Amino acid sequence: MQVRKAVITAAAPQQNTLPLQRLVDRGGQEKTALQLVMEETLSAGIEEVCVVIQPGDAAAYEQAAGGQVGQLQFVEQAEPRGYGDALYQAREFVADEPFLHLVGDHLYISRNRQPCAQQLVEVATEFECPVSAVQATREHKLPFFGVVSGTNVPRRPNLYEVQQVREKPTPTQAEQALLTAGLRSGYYLCFFGMHVLTPLVMEALAELLGAAQATATASSDQPTDRPAPTLSDAVALACQRGRYLATQIAGSRYNLGEKYGLLNTQLALALSGRDRDEILTELVGLLAEGPAAGAAT
C-alpha cells in the first residue's frame, strides 16, 4: 500500500485561525503552524496535500503556507457540520486511495530521528490497513480526544488490534469500556491527531453522514440535538468490517486549541531545539522573579 496523499482539516469554527499562528521551530526559524504541519506531512513521502478550510479562508492559508503553497490544494466545508463532514469534503481528492490525515490544530515532536507521520505511514504500509496514531493520555484529557482500546499485536508491543472506539468519552465510560492492558492506571489510548485511512473509512463516513441527513430531514419540524458523525464513529464502523490498527508513536502531540495550547507547544518546540539552554535560562529568570505585582492569586 502506497500512501501518497494527505488531508489536513482546518475548518472547525473558532479553530480555523490556529494553523495561521506563528511559532519558532526547533531550529530557531519562525514559521506558521501550517508550515510545520506541512513539513510533518511531507516528511512521510506525501506527494499531494489537500487542506479543508472554511469559505473565505483560502487567501490567508495561501499566505501562511509560504513557499509550500504550490504543494497545496484547498476544498471548502460550506457549512460547519462537524469533523466527519469536513473530512468527507476531501472525498474527490483522495478518490479510492489510502491517505494520511492530520488535524490542522495539532503539532508533533518526535522522540527519535524519524518524524511522527513517517512512523505512522510505515506501519500502515507494512500491514496494509487503516492505522491511527495514538498516545497514552491521562483521563482528565479525555474531553479533547477520541479513544480506542484493543489487544496487542504479537511481538509488537506498541501496536494494537482495535476493538472499541469512542469519541470524547467520560472517565466513567472509558473505565467501563476502553481499558487497554499494559497501560498505567488512569491512562487511555487517545488519538494522536494523525491517521492513515482507506476507502473503507470514507465509505463508513458516507453511510453515517447519509443516515444523519435522512434523520434530520425526517425530523425537520422537531429539531434534534443529536451530534454530527465524527471520524471516531466512522472508524468504529470500519473496524467492524475489516482490520483496523492503532500504534503508539514515539513522540508527543500538542493541541493548539486547548488552554495555553500555543504556549505549551512553543515551549515544547524550544526545549527540544537548538535554543534549549537559552530558553531554560529565561524560564529560570522568570521563576526567580516570582508573581507579577498585582497578579491574581
Mean pLDDT of 73-79: 96
Higher-scoring residue by pLDDT: 296, 178: 178
Residue 297 has pLDDT above 80, yes or no: no
283 in a domain, yes or no? Answer: no
Q: Are 25 and 34 in contact (CB under 8 A)?
A: no
182 in a domain, yes or no? Answer: yes
Structure confidence at residue 8 as a pLDDT band (50, 70, 90): very high
CATH at 98: 3.90.550.10
pLDDT at 91: 96
Summarize pLDDT for 104-144 with one digit per residue, the tens: 999 999 999 999 999 999 999 999 999 999 999 999 999 98
pLDDT at 212: 87
For 146, the domain range is 5-217+227-277
Give me 82's grid cell.
Answer: 462537524
DSSP state of 93: H
132 in a domain, yes or no? Answer: yes
**23-27, 88-92, 172-176, 286-290: segment of lowest average pLDDT:** 286-290
Neighbours of 5 (CB within 10 A): 21
The alpha carbon torsion through 33, 20, 38, 128 (nearest 10 deg) reads 90
Rounded to whole angstroms, the Cα distance separating 210 from 70 reads 34
Residue 245 has pLDDT above 80, yes or no: yes
- Among candidates 112, 106, 277, 102, which has minimal Cα distance to 194? 102
* Helices H / strands E in the chain, number of each: 10, 13
- Could you write out the DSSP letters of every residue in 68-83? GGGGEEEEE-SS---H
Summarize pLDDT for 213-229 with one digit per residue, the tens: 887 777 665 555 667 89
pLDDT at 14: 86
pLDDT at 213: 84
Residue 38 has pLDDT above 90, yes or no: yes
Instruction: Tell me which amino acid residue 33 is.
Output: A
**65-79, 159-173, 282-296: segment of lowest average pLDDT:** 282-296
284 in a domain, yes or no? Answer: no
- Residues sharing a CB contact under 8 Å with residue 243, sequence separation 6 or more, in sequence order: 127, 129, 130, 161
pLDDT at 228: 86
Helix 58-65 × helix 33-42 angle, to 10°: 70
Helix 199-218 × helix 231-238 angle, to 10°: 120
Q: Are 49 and 99 in contact (CB under 8 A)?
A: no
Q: Are 120 and 248 in contact (CB under 8 A)?
A: no
287 in a domain, yes or no? Answer: no
Residue 294 has pLDDT above 60, yes or no: no
293 in a domain, yes or no? Answer: no
pLDDT at 174: 94
User: How many domains, the chain?
Assistant: 1
Mean pLDDT of 49-59: 97
- Residues sharing a CB contact under 8 Å with residue 83, sequence separation 6 or more, in sequence order: 9, 12, 228, 230, 231
pLDDT at 222: 57
DSSP state of 222: S
Summarize pLDDT for 153-189 with one digit per residue, the tens: 999 989 999 999 999 999 999 999 999 999 999 999 9
Taking 3-state DSSP, the helix, strand and coil percentages for the chain, each rounded to the nearest 5, stand at: 40, 25, 35
pLDDT at 144: 87
pLDDT at 220: 61
289 in a domain, yes or no? Answer: no
174 in a domain, yes or no? Answer: yes
Tell me how far the alpha carbon of residue 239 is from its chain's centroid.
Answer: 19
